A = this chain, B = another copy of it.
Amino acid sequence: MAHQSFNMTLKQLAKELNLSFSTVSKALRDSHEISIETKNRVLAKAKALNYQVNPLASSLRKQKSKTIAVVIPEVVNDFFGPVINGIESIAQEKEYHVLIYLTHEDMQKEVAITKLLQNGRVDGIMMSLSEQTSITTHLEALQEKGIPLVFFDRIAEQMDAPKVTTDDYNCGIKATEHLLENGCKSIAFLTIAPNLSISNKRMNGYLDALKRHNIEPDERLILSCTGDDAKNNELIRQLLGNPNRPDGVFASVEKLAISTYAICAELNLNIPEDLKVICFSNMQTAAFLNPSLSTITQPAFEMGREAAAILFDLVEKKGKQPRVEKMVLNSVLVERNSSKATWEAPKNIKPQS
């Protein structure tokens, strides 16, 4: 049997019905110009022959693709997964399609991807920048073509486009003060991608919290990590192996906290007795880590939903002002054992082993 039965088209359907194909087209879209009997005939036949409109032709004609692109660095952590989920949930409601592109934190790829999105493939774009992205001409090119663009999380600060973020600066303060309140005297800040807006804001929160408590920031306590995990581990090892090591670590991304856990195991440092740890993370199992990890958790799903909602708003009344220029959602600080004050510590006090 023919495994390759061909696609039904409007014309073929029309021929089957002895109608002009414009009549059939209108009947399918429930136009008032067509009699009810004809509509029913057409609908029945379309169903019988399993006719589906060709989205390419339709999009070309209507100059609308009903498709958006999501451009993100990765999908391998617990943040972008829920974000995609949020985006997709709205897209499905609005009957849009979602293209996904990963930059792998590589600006060249980001640029290449934006080129692909320039000519009608999508009606709008959602972006979270790669950690390398410094210039934004490729993004401005998209705007010049009139394609709505919404940033989330890793935004391009200087661009005139809606942005959905979390309260990174505040959380930077809160996390730092949380460690201070629990007895830390010397807090290290681990970060990646210093040119990313989120990194900056989190660090500024950290610095301002220290200032507020009259603590002089120490450059040696600020670790600028990279995509190279081995190198990061080495940096952390140096930091924590040092005799006058910090007694607290505030990691701006999850993986650096995990590295910290690993290095502590290696160096026989006890969390939280010797070192308190807190980090930005959406890990679902933070509560089950050993010790359970205190986190600042971003509302990832909601970010996806909100950003997508703004984008669809923009797409649907193109040219109008966006509904929101900047939306800031609140993350929550979840205290767990990794940052617990030591005086309310384990069952029996170990002397000096």
Contact B102 A99 (CB under 8 A): no
How many angstroms between the C-alpha atoms of A50 and B102 in the bound complex? 23
Which residues of A (1-30) have their CB < 8 Å from a CB of B?
3-8
- Counting CB contacts under 8 A, is A65 at the interface? yes
A60: B residues at CB distance < 8 A: 54, 56-57, 60
Contact with B along A286-298 (1 / 0, CB 8 A): 0011111000000
Contact B118 A5 (CB under 8 A): no
- Counting CB contacts under 8 A, is A283 at the interface? yes
A100: B residues at CB distance < 8 A: 84, 88, 98-100
Contact with B along A57-89 (1 / 0, CB 8 A): 101100001010000001111101110110011
CB distance from A5 to the nearest CB of B (A): 5
Which residues of A (97-114) have their CB < 8 Å from a CB of B?
97-102, 109
- Counting CB contacts under 8 A, is A143 at the interface? yes
How many angstroms between the C-alpha atoms of A225 and B78 in the bound complex? 24
- Counting CB contacts under 8 A, is A348 at the interface? no
CB distance from A89 to the nearest CB of B (A): 8
How many angstroms between the C-alpha atoms of A89 and B60 in the bound complex? 28
Contact B98 A99 (CB under 8 A): yes
- Counting CB contacts under 8 A, is A44 at the interface? no
A residues neighboring B (CB under 8 Å)? 3-8, 50, 52-57, 59-60, 65, 67, 74-78, 80-82, 84-85, 88-89, 92, 97-102, 109, 115-116, 118-121, 141, 143-146, 258, 261-262, 283-285, 288-292, 318-319
- Given A75-B75, A291-B290, are A120 and B5 also a contact pair (CB < 8 Å)? no
CB nearest to A118 among chain B residues: B52
CB distance from A19 to the nearest CB of B (A): 20
Contact B290 A146 (CB under 8 A): no
Contact B56 A65 (CB under 8 A): yes
How many angstroms between the C-alpha atoms of A145 and B100 in the bound complex? 25
CB distance from A145 to the nearest CB of B (A): 6
Contact A101 B118 (CB under 8 A): no
Which are the 3 A-B pairs with shortest beta-carbon distances? Answer: A290-B290, A4-B146, A52-B119
Which of A80, A121, A288 has the most chain B CB within a 10 Å cutoff?
A288
How many angstroms between the C-alpha atoms of A4 and B77 in the bound complex? 36
How many angstroms between the C-alpha atoms of A291 and B120 in the bound complex? 52
How many angstroms between the C-alpha atoms of A244 and B88 in the bound complex? 45
How many angstroms between the C-alpha atoms of A92 and B208 in the bound complex? 42
- Given A75-B84, A88-B102, A285-B289, are A55 and B121 also a contact pair (CB < 8 Å)? yes
Contact B56 A121 (CB under 8 A): yes
- Given A55-B121, A56-B56, A100-B98, are A82 and B88 also a contact pair (CB < 8 Å)? no
A57: B residues at CB distance < 8 A: 60, 120
Q: Which of B101, B146, B292 contacts A88 (CB 8 A)?
A: B101
A8: B residues at CB distance < 8 A: 119
Contact A143 B3 (CB under 8 A): yes
